[in-house]
Amino acid sequence: MKTKILTYLRNTDQYLSGEQLSQQFGVSRTAVWKYMKQLKEEGYQIESVPRKGYRLIETADRITSSEILSQNKASWIGKEIEYFESTDSTNNRIRSFAEEGRKQGLLAVAEEQTGGKGRRGRSWDSPPGTGIWMSLLLKPCIEPHKASMITILAALAMARAIEKVTDLSPKIKWPNDIVINRKKTCGILTEMSAELEEIRYIILGIGINANTESFNRDIADKATSIYLENGEKIKRAKLIAEFCMEFEQLYEEFLRCGDLHTIKEAYESYLINIGKIVKIMKNRREEIRKAIGINELGELVVEDAEGRKEIVFSGEVSVRGLYGYV
Ligand code: BTN
């Protein structure tokens, strides 16, 4: 009910009387008053004027389930949300929920992670109030070797969502880092539980440096945030909602065709490595190649000096620019 009232308030700049709201939602005026009180306690600025009613003045930068749900128009991605003020890792939370049999589309969001996990066993700094730390539960009927394609979809969905919510031009560093002005602003960690031929569930974990004001010296040359790039703090729930809507479309399309051929071009339009010379690092060996694009499986297609094409799989290599991270 609180989410419904919030959505209603968000969609008008008029005053809404307690009477109007109580009729609209079939609850008493006292109940309406109580919901308003709860929303104010959550940080919403709601003006209440005698004989006129209530009006939402400003939305707080909260990522609670009501705040996300009131903006998420997807049909099933992120329509059930578990919010944590603080947790070790939202990927761990989704794993427990999956083991309890929760439905796909469930989103876990945390204000803070105390044990945020990055790729290749690294940790992921997740302080409170600045970023988006979230994980999505998926149960696709696809073979386990296709799981990495979901990460490609997520990167494209997030690049599009950032573009919608900001005036920035995000790029994708293959396979799934989002970079802005050549520095990383978002990372994706996909974990999976699978049998030999069947996926039980996938945990799509996404970390976005949204409103981060500074980074530790050791990562400041390769990490950035949306705020550091355009000087504007975003409403994190809006970005989460946009991501859910974009991802749902791409994911359904992917399940329909079974590979990435229909989104290949869109993905490549964001690919920062395209046409560039890259260093492929494989078992401590470095090879210099030119990145051509991706194939329908999401693998990177590269070319050597003689124009011979090769395929690079995401699991086995890391790709760098000739002079640094991209
Ligand atoms: C990377 O190393 O680039 C991936 C980082 C992924 C971080 C996110 S934050 C939400 C989710 N929970 C985690 O513990 N990790 C992912």
pLDDT for 323 beyond 70: no
Q: Which of 73, 63, 71 is nearest to 10 (CA)?
A: 71
22-33 mean pLDDT: 90
Work out which ligand 1 atom sits closest to the CA atom of 131.
9
Q: How confident is the model at residue 111 (pLDDT cuts 50, 70, 90)?
A: very high
Taking the centre of ligand 1 as the mean of its atom positions, its distance from the CA of residue 116, in whole angstroms, is 6
Taking the centre of ligand 1 as the mean of its atom positions, its distance from the CA of residue 124, in whole angstroms, is 6
Instruction: Read off the pLDDT of residues 241-277 as tens digits, 9 standing for 90 and up.
Output: 999 999 999 999 999 999 999 999 999 999 998 999 9
What CA–CA distance (Å, rounded) separates 212 from 173? 21
Q: How confident is the model at residue 302 (pLDDT cuts 50, 70, 90)?
A: very high
Q: How confident is the model at residue 316 (pLDDT cuts 50, 70, 90)?
A: low
Taking the centre of ligand 1 as the mean of its atom positions, its distance from the CA of residue 12, in whole angstroms, is 36
pLDDT at residue 322, rounded to an integer: 62
pLDDT for 56 beyond 80: yes
List ligand 1's pocket residues with C-beta within 6 A.
89-91, 113, 116-119, 122, 124, 126, 133-135, 177, 187-189, 205-207
What CA–CA distance (Å, rounded) separates 289 from 279? 6
Taking the centre of ligand 1 as the mean of its atom positions, its distance from the CA of residue 9, in whole angstroms, is 33
Q: How confident is the model at residue 80 (pLDDT cuts 50, 70, 90)?
A: very high
Q: Which two tokens stand for residue 2?
A: 């609180």
Residue recorded with tokens 């011979």: 308
pLDDT at residue 228, rounded to an integer: 97
Instruction: Give the SS3 label for residue 3.
Output: helix
Q: Whose CA is nearest to atom 7 of ligand 1?
A: 207
Instruction: Read off the pLDDT of residues 191-216 as tens digits, 9 standing for 90 and up.
Output: 999 998 899 999 999 999 999 999 99
Work out which ligand 1 atom sits closest to the CA atom of 89.
14
**Residue 229 zone, left/alpha/beta (φ > 0; ψ -120 to 50; rest):** alpha
Residue recorded with tokens 């990495």: 148
Question: Are 36 and 45 spatial neighbours (Cβ–Cβ below 8 Å)?
Answer: no
Q: How confident is the model at residue 78 (pLDDT cuts 50, 70, 90)?
A: very high
Write phi, then psi, for 27 (nearest 5 degrees): -125, 165
More confident residue, 74 or 12: 74
Instruction: Read off the pLDDT of residues 149-158 as tens digits, 9 standing for 90 and up.
Output: 999 999 999 9
Taking the centre of ligand 1 as the mean of its atom positions, its distance from the CA of residue 224, in whole angstroms, is 15
